[in-house]
Amino acid sequence: MEMINLKGKTQEELDEFAKSIGESAFRGRQLFKWIYHRGESDFDKMTDIGKELKKKLRETSHVSVIKLVDRVTADDKNTEKFLFQLADGNLIESVLMRYEEHLGFGRCTVCISSQVGCAQGCTFCASGKNGLVRSLTVSEIVDQVMQVQSSMNDTAERVTNVVVMGIGEPLANFKNVVKAIGLINHGDGIAIGMRHIAVSTVGIPRMMKKLADEKLSIRFAVSLHAPDNETRSKIIPANRKYPVESIIDASKYYQKVTGRRITFEYMLIDGLNDSLDQAKMLGKLLRGIHAMINLIPLNPVKESPYKRPARNRCYQFAKEVEKFGHKVIFRNERGTSIDAACGQLRNRMTEKEKGS
Ligand code: SAH
């Protein structure tokens, strides 16, 4: 008989599971708290569950845990990268970023992966170098947050924010990502507020609309990176299928349905998408959308030949976009010393294994 993995199951599913082994739904509630709130995976340590039930649980089910195989801290100590091994041997990465905030309350953001590898093949990104292996299961997505949290359990730190911006395209793993968000948010479990959860997409219009219809009050980001199809198609292969206009159309739909501001990520690449003309085009393109433009100076990766523009050029670009009334922010670069840009640690490990 196949053992049922209880991690990745919702409250209702655990209620059903409890009933299926002849217990009351109340046992499902207890399991939910043990699994997601306490982060416990060993039935023997679940103190309010009796001997008989523990035995039944061991015979029918298990609570999966992804295995931490490497943890690297950046020079500034505020960025850490976690490399996890999945049950089938595949590797994924998560990144923890600490931000000091006023009044002494810190923000701890975990950037999680949604797939093993990525099918998108964006030319500037390390994640898609070797294509897609598979999508992550719900438990593998949720467990990244849980394992990073459990690594800080002996400190006062808590994960406060989750961004689905690691390896993979979250909207290409729609069902599992949406279910995982529900679990990460649930008040009896990990309990991270919807407004503290963000999803970033390469821009798949049909799936963007589908996400809008879920009416989650998460933060939503679109990796635009260029205002015109000619430039965007050079760096993002998906643009040939889903051109800029279709992404803008889906963004407007998303905003209409959810009423929420949308973040447009714009990575600045030297000589490619950083001209003042492109800044003007971007400003015009986003007219009529309540947008935040997140300018990210390219994080150079050894997998691609691009360079980041000079600082001054980035500021000029920002100023030009602001003239259109948009809010523009610079995303601070993080973790360059540990290759925290998407997929780099995983690539390094895989290369090592190959002996290169
Ligand atoms: N597939 C999703 C989420 C993963 S990528 C998406 O495309 O949004 C998360 C973000 O990191 C995206 O905005 C992506 O374009 C950006 N990114 C990838 N490689 C980068 C690099 N070398 N420098 C800066 N940003 C990068």
- What's the pLDDT tens digit per position in 4-33? 999 999 999 999 999 999 999 999 999 999
Residue 354 is predicted with a pLDDT of 46
Listed range (147-156, 191-200, 324-333) with the worst mean pLDDT: 324-333
Residue 95, pLDDT score:
94
> Closest residue (by CA) to atom 15 of ligand 1?
223
Q: Which atom of ligand 1 is least distant from the CA of 300?
A: 22
Q: Residue 97 pairs with which residues in a beta bridge?
A: 79, 109
**Atom 1, ligand 1: residue with shortest CA distance:** 169
Nearest alpha carbon to residue 212 among 266, 252, 169: 252
Q: Which pLDDT score, from 0 to 100, does residue 225 have?
A: 98
Write the residue with the smallest CA distance to atom 10 of ligand 1. Answer: 165
Confidence label for 130 from pLDDT (cuts 50, 70 and 90): confident
Q: Tell which residue, 90, 59, 58, has the closest CA to residue 168.
A: 90
Q: Is 111 a catalytic residue?
A: no
Find the 298 Cα to ligand 1 centroid distance in Å.
Answer: 9
Identity of the highest mean pLDDT range in 86-90, 155-159, 335-339: 86-90
Ligand 1 close to Cβ of residue 298 (< 6 A): yes
Q: pLDDT digits over 174-217, tens only?
A: 999 999 999 999 999 999 999 999 999 999 999 999 999 999 99
Q: Tokens 């919807």 map to which residue? A: 194
* Residue 335 pLDDT: 57
Q: Is 118 designated active site?
A: no
Angle at 122 between CA 229 and CA 135, to 5 degrees: 125
Q: Convert the pLDDT of each residue in 79-100 to its tens digit.
A: 899 999 999 999 999 999 988 7
Q: Read off the pLDDT band of 239 (50, 70, 90).
A: very high
Question: In the CATH scheme, what is the homologous superfamily, with its name and number, of domain 67-355?
Answer: Aldolase class I (3.20.20.70)
Give residue 75's pLDDT. 77
Using CA atoms, how far residue 318 sits from 32, 36, 261, 324, 330, in Å, is 46, 42, 19, 11, 9
Pocket lining: 267 vs ligand 1, CB cutoff 6 Å: yes
What is the distance between the alpha carbons of residues 232 and 244, in angstroms, rounded to a whole number? 8
Q: Which of 108, 111, 314, 342 is catalytic?
A: 342
Fold of 4-62: DNA polymerase; domain 1 (1.10.150)
**Which of 114, 125, 234, 301 for mutating ligand 1's site (highest number of atoms within 8 Å of CB)?**
125
Q: Is residue 103 pLDDT above 70, yes or no?
A: no
Structure tokens at 212: 């809008």
Work out the percent of the chain whose per-residue pLDDT is above 90. 81
pLDDT above 90 for 347: no
- Cα(342) to centroid(ligand 1), Å: 7
pLDDT of 303 over the 50 cut = yes
Decide whether any atom of ligand 1 lies within 6 Å of the 265 Cβ. yes
pLDDT tops 70 at residue 283: yes
* pLDDT confidence tier of residue 74, bands split at 50, 70 and 90: confident
Residue 342 pLDDT greater than 80, yes or no: no
Q: Determine if the pTM surpasses 0.75.
A: yes
Among 201, 265, 294, 346, say which to mutate for ligand 1: greatest number of ligand atoms within 8 Å of CB: 265
pLDDT at 356: 37
Residue 300 pLDDT exceeds 90: no
Q: Check if 211 has its Cβ closer than 6 Å to any atom of ligand 1.
A: no
| CB atoms near residue 268 (< 10 Å) | 23
CA distances from 234 to 127, 269, 277, 296 (A): 17, 12, 18, 18
Catalytic residue among 23, 80, 93, 140: 93
Give the residue with greater pLDDT, 155 vs 6. Answer: 6
Any ligand 1 atom below 6 A from CB of 345: no
Nearest atom within ligand 1 for CA of residue 200: 8
Which is the closest atom of ligand 1 to the Cα of 164? 3
Q: Look up tokens 């492109």; give the residue.
A: 278
Indicate the domain borders of the chain.
Answer: 4-62, 67-355
Judge if the beta carbon of residue 342 lies within 6 A of ligand 1.
Answer: yes
Return the pLDDT at 332: 60
Determine the pLDDT at residue 144.
98
Q: Residues of the chain with pLDDT > 70: what percent?
A: 92
Q: What is the pLDDT of residue 340?
A: 55
Shortest-distance atom of ligand 1 to CA 297: 24
Residue 68 has pLDDT above 60, yes or no: yes
- The pLDDT, as a whole number, for residue 355 is 43
CA of 184 relative to ligand 1 center, distance in Å? 22
Q: How many angstroms separate the alpha carbon of residue 267 from the centre of ligand 1?
A: 8
pLDDT band with cut points at 50, 70 and 90 for residue 345: low
Mean pLDDT confidence for 111-135: 93
